[in-house]
Amino acid sequence: MDSILVRGGGELNGVIPIAGAKNACLTLMPATLLSEEPLTLTNAPRLSDIRTMTELLGSLGAEVASLQGGQVLAMSSHNIHNHTADYDIVRKMRASILVLGPMLARDGHAIVSLPGGCAIGARPVDMHLQALEAMGADLELRDGYVHAKARGGRLTGAQFEFSVVSVGATENALLAATLARGTTVLKNAAREPEIVDLAQCLRRMGAQIEGEGTSTITIQGVDRLGGATHPVVTDRIELGTYMLAPAICGGEVECLGGRMDLVGAFCEKLDEAGVSVEETERGLKVKRKNGRVDAVNVTTEPFPGFPTDLQAQMMALLCTANGTSVLEERIFENRFMHAPELIRMGAQIEVQGGHATVTGVDKLKGARVMATDLRASVSLILAAMAAEGETVVSRVYHLDRGYERVEEKLGACGAHIERITT
C-alpha cells in the first residue's frame, strides 16, 4: 500500500497548475446518459474517482474514451443496455448515485445501489429520492438498492423545495428535470460553482434552465438532448488546498487557473489570518503578509460560505497560527477525524461535537500518521511540509481520489515529498 513521505522545512516557491474540478466532472459525466449523442468534457482531472465513474458508466453501456492523457473524456450513450448500477462499483464513491436521475429521465426506470465514499457522516440520499418522487417516480428500497420507475414511463415537472441545501440532491434533480414533461422548479437549491457548471453543460446539450447559482432553479423539460463539448470548471477545493501551501510553509506560489470568485469566503479568511492573495493574468498568487499567521475562527457553510472541503486543510494552517482558533463544522457531523493525527504531530486541538478549538504552537513535529478521508489526507501533507523531521502519511488511496500528481506539483515548488510503496 502506498504512503507519502514528507521531509519538512523550507519555503515553497513556483507555480502550481490547478486541475478541473473533481466534483464537477463527476456530476457532468452522468449527463451523457441523457442523450444518444456524444458528450465531450475537456479539462478533466486525472483521478481514481473519475476512473470509478468511467467504470460505472461503462457497466451501463456507455462508451467513455480517455484522451490527451486523461484530460479529455469523450463519451457516448447511444447503446444503454443495462439499467442496474451495481453495488460493487457504487460502493466506492458517493457520486455514483448521480446516474439515478438521468437513467430515470431517459428510459423511465433504473436500479441503483445505495452509495459509499468517505466516512465523514451519514450523508443520506433521502432528498435525492424525495425530489424524484415529486417528479412522479415510484421508488422502492430493497436489498440495498433503489428500484425506481417513472409513472407513465416519463417523469413530470414539479415544484420541490429541499429541506436543507444539498449539492448532490440538487444535481440529481436538475439532471432528471431536463427530460421531464413540463416545468420543474427547485427551491432552496445549492448554489455551488459545480451546479452552475452542470447547468451550463446541460444548456449546451439543449436543456432549458434558468436560475443556476441562485436558490431557485427553473427547468423546462425538453423531449431530447443533443451532444456537446464542455470544459470542466477549475477545482476550487484543489485551488484552496494549494493556496494554503505557501501560507503554511512560507514562500510565494501562483495557482494557475485560479479564480477569486470560486473561493471568495476562503480568501476572506486568509486575509484575516495574514495571507495575501493577488489576482494575476494566469490565476492567483499567494504569500504570507508578515511571517507567522494569526488565528481566525471558521464556520463551514454551503456556498458561497466557507467550504467544508477546505476545513481540514485550514486546520493544518491554524495549528501553527498565533493564538487560538475555533472551527465549527455545520455540514457534516463527523469531519474532525484528522484532528487526532495532527495531535500526533504536536498540534493542540480539542474537539467537542461540531467544534474544534486549535491553539497554535511554534512548530509541528514529523510523525507516522494515517489518512482517514480525502481532505484529511492532504491536510496531513500540508502540515508535514512545515513540520520538523519526517512524516509518513499512510492510506493515501484517499488522496488519489481527489488530487492528481500531488508529489509532482508540490515537489516542483521545493517540497521534499515522495511516494513510497510498502
State the Cα–Cα distance between residues 78 and 34, nearest whole angstrom.
10
State the Cα–Cα distance between residues 194 and 215, nearest whole angstrom.
14
The three cell numbers locating residue 81: 443496455
The three cell numbers locating residue 273: 489570518
State the Cα–Cα distance between residues 199 and 366, nearest whole angstrom.
44
* 22 annotated ligand binder: yes
Specify whether the CB–CB gap between 255 and 286 falls below 8 A. Answer: yes
Q: Give kind and range of the element (H or E) at residue 165.
A: none
Specify whether the CB–CB gap between 132 and 158 falls below 8 A. Answer: no
Q: How far is CA 297 from the centre of its chain?
A: 23
Point out the catalytic residue in the list 118, 249, 319, 413.
118
Kindly write down the DSSP assignment for every residue of 297-322, as one continuous string: -EEB-STTSB-GGGHHHHHHHHTTSB
State the Cα–Cα distance between residues 312 and 315, nearest whole angstrom.
5
Alpha helix ranges (H) inside 251-373: 264-273, 311-318, 339-344
* 172 annotated ligand binder: no
* 79 annotated ligand binder: no
Q: How far is CA 279 from the centre of its chain?
A: 23
Specify whether the CB–CB gap between 348 and 358 falls below 8 A. Answer: yes
CA dihedral sign, ordered 259, 260, 261, 265: positive
State the Cα–Cα distance between residues 294 and 232, nearest whole angstrom.
35
Residues 6+ apart with CB under 8 A from 167: 23, 190, 192, 194, 195, 302
Kindly write down the DSSP assignment for every residue of 199-257, as one continuous string: HHHHHHTT-EEE-TTSSEEEEE--S----EEEEPPB-HHHHHHHHHHHHHH-EEEEEET
State the Cα–Cα distance between residues 20 and 148, nearest whole angstrom.
32
Would you call 118 a catalytic residue per the annotation?
yes
Q: Which residues pair with 244 in a beta bridge?
A: none
State the Cα–Cα distance between residues 179 and 157, nearest whole angstrom.
9
Residue numbering of the annotated binding site for UDP-N-acetyl-alpha-D-glucosamine:
94, 309, 331
Catalytic residues: 118
Residue numbering of the annotated binding site for phosphoenolpyruvate:
22-23
Residue numbering of the annotated binding site:
22-23, 94, 309, 331
